[in-house]
Amino acid sequence: MRESDIIVVAPYNAQVNALRDALPAGIKVGTVDKFQGQEAAACLVSMTASSAEETSRGMEFLLSLNRINVAVSRAKALALVFGAERLLDARCETVEQMRLANTLCALAEAGQVERPVIRRAS
């Protein structure tokens, strides 16, 4: 797989900028809006926030069904979603928030959820 076969999607411009700084220049990084209509062999989705309640634009923006659908459907072969486990435990106050949180949980159940590996420097 070449760098040009990978796109990385994040919901917020600040995360996009941080990812661009950290990743090789050949990997395209952008928001969902930038990649609408484009595809790549692999799409990596960074959920960015550590919890749904702590998002700068609200749970409805981060967990938007349309945004998540567009993000994962950019992948021709492989879509990986990276996020904090706490996103699956969102505290919902409305029926709409419950629907959004349930969609993220269903996505996690359909895929394989990996626990983070933390390596300590020796």
Q: What is the mean pLDDT of the chain?
A: 84
* pLDDT above 90 (res 67): no
Q: What is the pLDDT of residues 22-41, one digit of tens each?
A: 999 999 999 988 988 889 99
54 falls in which pLDDT band (50, 70, 90)? confident
Q: What is the pLDDT of residues 75-107, one digit of tens each?
A: 999 988 888 888 888 888 899 888 888 888 888
Residue 75 sits in a domain whose CATH number is: 3.40.50.300
Residue 122 is assigned to a structural domain of this protein: no
Residue 52 DSSP code: G
* Per-residue pLDDT at 114: 58
Residue 103 is assigned to a structural domain of this protein: yes
CB 19 within 8 A of CB 46: yes
* pLDDT above 90 (res 7): yes
Q: What is the dihedral of CA 96, 102, 107, 111, to 10 degrees?
A: 170
* Per-residue pLDDT at 112: 66
* Tokens found for residue 71: 């993000």
Query: Which residue range forms the structural domain that includes residue 86?
Result: 3-110
Residue 119 is assigned to a structural domain of this protein: no
Residue 116 is assigned to a structural domain of this protein: no
- What is the number of domains present in the chain? 1
116 falls in which pLDDT band (50, 70, 90)? low
